[in-house]
Amino acid sequence: MKLRRAPAAALATLAVLTACGTDDNSGLPGAVDFSAETLRCAPDGGTLLASGSSAQANAMEVWVNTYQANCDGSQINYKPTGSGAGIQELLQGTTAFAGSDSLLTEPEVAESRSVCNQGGREGEAIHLPMVAGPIAIGYNLPGVDDLVLDAATAARIFDSEITRWNDPAIAALNPGARLPDLPITPFHRSDGSGTTDNFTSYLHASAPDAWPYEPDKNWRGHGGQAAEGSSGLVGMVQQNEGAIAYFELSYAHQNHITTARIDTGARRPVAASVENSSNAVAQADVTGRGGDLALELDYATREEGAYPIVLVTYEILCDRGNNPDALPLTKAFLRYTASPEGQDQLAGIDYAPMPDDIIRQVRQTIRGLQ
């Protein structure tokens, strides 16, 4: 496989070919030319199918475009179908890896053993943390450009207990703000989503009395309206005055949606930003064993400058027993996404690179995939 440099017209075509699903965003940076030493292409190219998290769709689009622009003969198709759907497709053996913002359950790990048994090897699915970022609470409230919420108030809004923007609980967090007497329309994901799982993990960990439901990829709260995918929620917020929803910061910035700061109990409310989410991820503990790098996040953190509503997106695949036909391209592509160059591309599109000690372990695990 020879490394090549794609002309601008080819890069535009690649952007169209790889923007699958409903979560396409425009305005992302174009592909970057790398040397053969920096980006080591799979020797024989081929086609790679993957699916899952829409939270990492923008990162995947940049990574896929860059890899394909540099590596002749490689076709990578990532479908942002949502974490739940991506995991199911992996467990059905139809994709090389799944992107998920939630950890596999024990039954799902057990089920993966029936898929991770190709090429005479037996393995199971593992988690490779590849990208992180804040889940922003975006809202459409003309005249209010700075909004502060805490976990209990956000929980009551999304559970349809607080129904108007001038509610005393919101006013107490925003002294001096001109909050209108306007109905609140909360929106949540209609599809199984790791973004929902992480958002409700924050609500449950930080305000269990206000949000008594166990975290889940599927919405458990009452009331509100639903939309599919992060882009669906963005559209609803844009179209409806008084709307509020949750989605990745990259979607908020790409679509010029104002986001709330979070009162965590620290000295100052914390804004959704790459730096503040990196501060939160750096506190995570690795709870997986062997090559499994599952992380445990502290959603109830009160550390200064740590934004608590953060998700980590994992690439989930077999440690052993991967499809031998897809394995060389899978390893080459993931090796690039985990490289310093691949990680450096994230900050410019509102994602947080993984901490150095974690991403080093990811690279080591990728080298050992079989």
Neighbours of 194 (CB within 10 A): 30
- Show the low-confidence residues of the chain (pLDDT under 50): 1-26
What is the reported pLDDT for 36?
A: 65
- Both 158 and 54 in one domain: the answer is no
- Both 276 and 167 in one domain: the answer is yes
Convert the pLDDT of each residue in 117-144 to its tens digit.
998 899 999 999 999 989 999 999 999 9
What is the reported pLDDT for 302?
A: 94
- Both 102 and 206 in one domain: the answer is no
- Both 15 and 97 in one domain: the answer is yes
| Full DSSP string of 248-312 | EHHHHHHTT-EE-EEE-SSSS-B---HHHHHHHHTT-EE---TT---EE--TT---TT--S-EEE
Q: Which residue range(s) make up the domain with 328?
A: 8-131+313-367
What's the CATH code of the domain at 174?
Answer: 3.40.190.10
Q: Under DSSP, is residue 75 helix (H, G, I), strand (E, B) or coil?
A: strand
**Given 259, 280, 301, which residue is the final one in a domain?**
280
Helices (H), the chain: 8-18, 57-70, 83-91, 106-112, 151-158, 168-173, 194-206, 229-239, 249-254, 274-281, 327-337, 340-344, 356-367
Angle of helix 327-337 relative to helix 57-70, nearest 10 degrees?
Answer: 110
- Both 138 and 124 in one domain: the answer is no
- Both 246 and 320 in one domain: the answer is no
Yes or no: say if 130 and 338 are a contact pair by the CB < 8 Å rule: yes
What is the reported pLDDT for 17?
A: 29
β-pair type (225-227, 185-189):
parallel
What is the reported pLDDT for 37?
A: 66
